[in-house]
Amino acid sequence: MKTIDRLDDAPIEVPRGLANVIVTDTGLSGVRGREGFYHYRQYSAVELARTRSVEEVWRLLLDGSLPDPVERLAFGNEVAAASGLDDATRAALDELGRTVPAADPLAALRVGIATEGARRCLRPLFDLDPAERRSGLLGLAAKVPAMIATFARASAGLPSVEPRPDLGYVADYLFQLTGSAPESRHVDALSTYLVAAIDHGFNASTFTARVIASTGADAASCLLGALGSLSGPLHGGAPSRALDTLDAIGSPDRIDEWVTARVLAGDRIMGFGHPVYRTEDPRSALLKEVARSFGGPRVDLAIQVEERIPVLLERLKPGRELHTNLEWYAAIVMELCGIDRSLFTATFAAARVLGWTANVLEQAADPKIIRPSARYTGPEAPQPVPAR
């Protein structure tokens, strides 16, 4: 906790990382960490993930209400019509995938968003009315699955697949990745994950998108900034590392040895711990249910590791609690759905970008730029010379 002087010289206490600092009002989502609960508008996010499609929840965040059947069809058609890529965007992603073997899918996604934004000559949000802002944001976000799939197939030496927007946001994504109609259980499982990940309060990437939106910048700039924030391993870049943990452990008989070594070394165990939740992460509990429905040795090992860590922690670090977060079972679910682990963070982005669009819209309606202050702690500066 640090004391920082406000411009009016009234000292206030500011926690590191702005933890628990309320920076604005929002009507989109809330996270109640002590209760292990989060919601989208007035609805439990977990229940929405169990019962509603990605399109329905995206529409809820964008327009304020869950759609009736007619509205659901209209919104689905709107998303489908916007999902195709510009030829230049497809060519850029294809070339990147074919010529740069080590290219990061999230970096490729930034290329796609930047190219689409530039080709469409998107104007600053400041100069647009609400309907124009919504149209521009939806038009970019709807293309994200095609951007990821185009790059992924090029990286694998495969030709891109013409999208099937009639399948819906989730099924079309899997179809474009694999080139074949996805199994219904894979569509259902991935849909549950994506809905659960659409929004989550003022996380780092959402806050970044809103800061950029507060300047009146264009829609592509807002989404690009958020994607940059999401690339950090402490934010969205962790799902594949959860599988790395399971790979390193290998079998149930090595759990104690591996976890004990990491805890005593003070290392972070990826897939565990969250800055907000002080109890079980409800997203983890939800995706654990989904993983259990598939079953298999990988799922069994993941559950055994989750259940064993609290026991070991009580022995090694009494009083310290560590629960799984979204990434732990999200990695398992994506793997079960046939998604390569290199695409895990980009797939997370295919969900979170939808929440960003709603947050950018909400922020753009506020004419006040986000401009906090910092306390200077460098070498002493000279005192100003009074004017004569």
Q: Quick one: three-class SS letters along 184-234?
A: HHHHHHHHHHHHHHCCCCCCHHHHHHHHHHHCCCCHHHHHHHHHHHHCCCC
- Report the 10 Å Cβ neighbour count for 182: 20
The answer to whether residue 250 sits within a structural domain is yes
Quote the pLDDT of residue 1. Answer: 43
Question: How many structural domains comprise the chain?
Answer: 1
Q: Kindly state whether residue 313 falls inside one of the protein's structural domains.
A: yes
SS3 292: helix
Q: What one-letter code names the amino acid at 297?
A: P
Burial 240-267 (b: 16+ CB within 10 A, else e): bbbbebbeebeeeeebeebbeebbeeee
Q: Look at residue 165 and tell me if it is in a domain.
A: yes
pLDDT at position 244 is 87
Query: Which residues fall within 8 angstroms of residue 106, CB to CB, at 6 or more apart?
Result: 227, 230, 231, 237, 345, 346, 349
384 in a domain, yes or no? no
Closest CA to 288 of 273, 271, 275, 276: 271
380 belongs to a structural domain: no
Distance in angstroms (rounded) separating the CA atoms of residues 366 and 211: 11
CA 207/CA 124 separation, integer angstroms: 19
Partnered with residue 11 across adjacent β-strands are 5
Residue 378 domain-assigned? no
pLDDT digits 0-9 by tens, 271-293: 676 666 567 788 888 999 999 99
User: How many Cα atoms within 13 Å fall on the side-chain side of residue 261?
Assistant: 7
Q: Compute mean pLDDT per 10 residues along the chain, 388 residues long, and list them.
A: 48 72 89 88 97 98 97 97 94 96 93 96 97 98 97 95 93 96 97 96 93 98 96 73 87 91 81 66 91 95 87 76 77 94 94 98 95 87 82
Per-residue model confidence as pLDDT tens digits over 360-378: 999 999 999 998 888 888 9
Active-site positions?
A: 274, 327
Is 137 a member of any domain? yes
CATH number at residue 361: 1.10.580.10
CA–chain centroid gap for 242, Å, is 16
- The pTM is what? 0.90
In a domain, residue 383? The reply is no
CB 326 within 8 A of CB 196: yes
Please give the residue range of the domain that contains residue 68: 1-373
